[in-house]
Amino acid sequence: MPKALVSSRSFANIVSVGEEMLTAAGFEVRRIGPEERPLDAANMEAIVTRENPDVIISGAEPVTSGVLAASKTLRMVMKHGVGVDNIDLDAATSLGIAVANAPGTNTEAVADWVIGAMLSLLRGICAASNSTRAGKWERFVGRELGAMTAGVIGTGRIGAEVTKRLSGFGTKVLAYDVIPNDELMSRYGVRYVSLDEVLAASDLVTLHVPLTEQTKKMIGAAELSRMKETAYLINAARGELVDEEALYESLETGRIAGAALDVYSAEPPLASPLIKLDNVLATPHIAAYTYEAMECMDRMCAETILAIFAGKLSPNLLNPAVLGDSS
């Protein structure tokens, strides 16, 4: 009986369809419990050595070369999500281990969160709610999203959906991406400009790029200094895209008006001073967490695992060479 080791916090935790599909196909599903967390590389390696799984269903925890080599039977790592910056893809490929992700499954959910965060920041909704609960009756004067200019950095699946939603409000959108999206330009009037212009001209700047060596800390002190003092930064992509020390200084001194953060360089961000600032809307990496997204993601994960174990190629397989396909 093949074993699936679930290190993801969310797989089969919110909906059951993925686990049911694997169990019906003869897999033993073993979940790493809360008592064994947090999952750093050493802890993951020890657990994988002990469990010797055939497949790991991972979340954001490190899947290093040591983790990959720790199981003698490991055939696949399935990311319960999209970004695979936590998985050593080169090491997996050299070991003949398939790696796949679940693209497109959380696009709508994350785009919705971004719009909600923008509205919350502009209208001071969280502050107004806290004030009312405290027995006060204050008037919070906000701004309208349709009167703003939004800067979308990265116009892949999620960035494009955020842009489409912004069009419904009448928001002017400036975009930055190495590959412009023709539909966004022709249908929604998006204008692609330099990163500097996006930062300087936008009232809201939202990040939607993958974490790579090139994008790590792409928003630092210099970039934050180019933003308007009345501007907001929104990050639901990866915490490491932002220099958090520089962001804290910019927020604490009023260099920018505020930020909405769903991701952090260390999670949970217990030691981060960012979450203590009144002008930060902080959520615990939940942008992708809707029942609809989780059902879609769990189902894709299970379908992909079953396909790979049947020797079939799957379009979301990231290293098809391990199945003898070099295309």
Closest CA to 248 of 266, 221, 268: 221
Amino acid at 8: S
Catalytic: which of 75, 80, 157, 285?
285
| Cβ-based neighbours of 25, under 8 Å, separated by 6 or more | 306
Could you tell me if 3 and 309 are in contact, meaning their C-beta atoms sit under 8 angstroms apart?
A: no
- Angstrom distances, CA of residue 83 to CA of 73, 260, 288: 24, 20, 12
Beta carbons of 119 and 145 less than 8 angstroms apart: yes
Q: Is 285 noted as a catalytic residue in this protein?
A: yes
**238 classed as catalytic:** yes
Selected catalytic residue, list 144, 183, 267, 292: 267
Backbone Cα Rg of the chain = 21
* Rounded Cα distance, 124 and 194, in Å: 30
Instruction: Please give the Cα distance from 89 to 93 (Å, whole number).
Output: 6
Q: Which two tokens stand for residue 201?
A: 């001209």
Q: Which residues contact 151 (CB under 8 A, 6 or more apart)?
A: 173, 174, 175, 176, 198, 199, 201, 202, 204, 205, 206
SS3 content of the chain, % helix, strand, coil (to 5): 40, 15, 45
Q: Note whether 244 and 267 are within 8 A (CB).
A: no
Q: Which of 80, 208, 238, 240 is catalytic?
A: 238
| C-alpha to C-alpha distance for 5 and 52, rounded to whole angstroms | 9
> Which parts of 52-140 are beta strand (E)?
55-58, 76-79, 98-100
Query: Beta 232-235 vs 204-207: how paired, if at all?
Result: parallel
Q: Residues with catalytic annotation?
A: 238, 267, 285
